[in-house]
Amino acid sequence: MSQRALPSILVVEDDLDLRQTIVASLEANGFAAAQASDAADALERLRSFAYDGLVVDLRLPDADGMTVLDEALDRYPLIRAVVMTGFGNVAEAVTAIKRGAVDFLIKPFQLSQLARVLQTALEQQRLREENAELKAQLKGKFRFENIIGRHSTMQALFTTLELVSPMNSTVLIHGETGTGKELIARTIHHNSPRANERFVAFNAAAIPETLAEAELFGHVKGAFTGAIASRAGRFELAHRGTLFIDEVSSMSLPLQAKLLRALQEREIERVGESRPMRLDIRVVAATNMDLRKMVKEGTFREDLFYRLNVIPVTLPALRQRREDIPLLAQHFVRKSCTENNIPVKTVSQEALRALMAYDWPGNIRQFENAVEHAVAMASAKPEIPPESLPDDVRERAGSMLVPTVAIPDEGLNFTSLVSQLERELILRCLEKTGGNKRQAARLLNLSRTTFIDKLHRLNLERGAA
């Protein structure tokens, strides 16, 4: 059996001492390293040899390091490239990674970090080739296009995810309960260089405070009553992958301090053990609370907040993007019908109006459950009628349209009452949409022109946007 060749790396750096130090470190870590002092030398070497990896400085004496990166990736799409610079910023990092680099290191950095990044990238490439079918399935499930939304807030979210997913930066996701924070975290992971490693979730609100530290950092045998065997924590399980910490605001102040140290040092200690363990991990945290307010109140550490809030991502509530509801409704109808092996149904306009009139305090999670309920209640009908929706959704829609009117014995003025009801409905819808005429007209299923005419007739045009 022939011996497997060492992975070959080309190091491009004009500082002789640094270049030779990097080469020596890589060779000590099991790589075969070649070196080039400038872009011209590097391009010549790339033309004659297919390296497994590339380490290139962005500042070279004769050209921009991006030139070398582009040439390498054009020639060898599978090459794993790491960019380094002493003048780094997020914009350059995003540019380099979008062009195909696997990571971005700012000088000075630990040599062991570079070796670890290359080892991880090459291992991921090997797994990617061996598990192409699995990889395709994961991408299909978690690609950005499967996060449904046409609203401007969702389009901005997609842009942010595209930029941050390839990076190693910590992400803090803020959103109400049920907005899909874990889905976003998984999407970030599966569109990152860590996609072939584990995604580990930890819900801080679901674990009793007495057990949270051991769950997060692990423990050794005998560390506390009931610890009959050593156990790895979520941090350790997520090594080389992504750790998702949900409801981070629920952590006690002592546990927050331990989390801060783990994020700063990238190392942990199991409960009952004093030996530190270094980890390569990306952290994505999520909360439905206002952490800035908690910092002011003294219930959340300010230093931890800034450590987590490197890249903030805010998810809109469903009521803030009602225009996405028809799209989401058909998506979840199709999903429910497919899972239950029944013909795909459509959603009636009346049912859509009811769905759009409801405020959805439980957001996407509640919405999906309501649609699944409607699919079941519609039975064999090809179209989902409003009566198939959950009671609270139908009742809310009805209360928007027809208030209870008492009929006095002496009768009432029909024309005056209708005008009063019309006025009340328009005012309610304008209040609900923040004065937006177009959205208010849609809630009433009126054209914008008809809606404007009614505003003028009822003398309501002032204050409407």
Q: Are residues 121 and 227 in the same domain?
A: no
The residue out of 106, 130, 154 marking a domain boundary is: 130
Residue 212 in any domain: the answer is: yes
Q: Are residues 87 and 171 in the same domain?
A: no
Q: Where are the beta strands (DSSP E) in 352-448?
A: 383-384
Alpha carbon distance 270, 275 (integer Å)? 8
Q: Are residues 418 and 393 in the same domain?
A: no
CA angle at 288 for the pair 335 and 262, rounded to the nearest 5°: 105
Q: How confident is the model over 216-264, as pLDDT tens digits? A: 998 887 666 666 677 888 999 999 999 999 999 999 999 999 999 999 9
The residue out of 296, 314, 332 marking a domain boundary is: 314
**Which H helix or E strand runs over 82?**
strand 80-85
Residue 1 in any domain: the answer is: no
The residue out of 261, 285, 314 marking a domain boundary is: 314
- Measured in residues, the chain has a length of 465
Q: Are residues 118 and 56 in the same domain?
A: yes
Sign of CA dihedral 70, 72, 74, 77: negative
Q: Are residues 387 and 453 in the same domain?
A: no
Q: Are residues 49 and 190 in the same domain?
A: no
Of 93, 237, 107, the residue nearest 167 (C-alpha): 93
**Which H helix or E strand runs over 189?**
helix 181-190
**Which H helix or E strand runs over 117?**
helix 111-130
Alpha carbon distance 437, 461 (integer Å)? 10
Q: How confident is the model over 57-106, as pLDDT tens digits? A: 988 999 888 999 998 888 777 789 999 877 666 577 678 888 899 998 88
| Cross-strand pairs, 130 | none
Q: Mind listing the pLDDT tens digit of every residue in the chain (465 residues)?
A: 334 568 889 999 999 999 999 999 999 999 989 999 999 999 988 877 778 899 999 889 998 889 999 988 887 777 899 998 776 665 776 788 888 999 988 888 899 999 999 999 888 876 665 454 444 444 444 546 568 887 888 889 999 999 999 999 999 999 999 999 999 999 999 999 999 999 999 999 998 887 888 889 988 876 666 666 778 889 999 999 999 999 999 999 999 999 999 999 989 888 878 788 899 999 999 999 999 999 999 999 999 999 999 999 999 999 988 878 888 998 899 999 999 999 999 888 778 878 888 899 999 999 999 999 999 999 888 889 989 999 988 876 555 544 445 566 667 777 777 777 788 788 878 877 778 888 888 888 777 888 888 888 877 765 455
Residue 297 in any domain: the answer is: yes
Q: How far is CA 107 from the centre of its chain?
A: 29
Q: Residue 166 contacts by C-beta under 8 Å, 6 or more apart in sequence? A: 94, 97, 98, 191, 192, 193
Q: Are residues 68 and 177 in the same domain?
A: no
Residue 409 in any domain: the answer is: no
CATH number at residue 162: 3.40.50.300
| Cross-strand pairs, 172 | 285, 312
* CA-to-CA separations, 158 to 167, 287, 314, 315, 348, in angstroms, rounded: 15, 19, 11, 11, 29
Domains in the chain: how many in total? Answer: 4
CATH number at residue 333: 1.10.8.60
CATH number at residue 424: 1.10.10.60
pTM for the complete prediction?
A: 0.57
Q: Which two tokens stand for residue 9?
A: 């790396």
Residue 139 in any domain: the answer is: no
Q: Are residues 153 and 258 in the same domain?
A: yes
Q: Give the up-direction half-sphere exposure of residue 464: CA atoms within 13 A in the CB hemisphere.
A: 24
Residue type, 196: N
Alpha carbon distance 432, 161 (integer Å)? 30
Q: Are residues 183 and 243 in the same domain?
A: yes
Q: Are residues 161 and 302 in the same domain?
A: yes
Containing domain of residue 366, as a range?
Answer: 318-401
Residue 359 in any domain: the answer is: yes
Q: Are residues 87 and 182 in the same domain?
A: no
Q: Which two tokens stand for residue 47?
A: 């033309």
Burial (0-12, 13-18, 19+ Cβ within 10 Å), 257:
middle
Q: Which two tokens stand for residue 116?
A: 């670890």
Three-state SS for 347? strand
Q: Which two tokens stand for residue 369?
A: 């459950």
Cis? peptide before 108, omega within 30° of 0: yes
Residue 391 in any domain: the answer is: yes
Q: Are residues 86 and 23 in the same domain?
A: yes
Residue 406 in any domain: the answer is: no
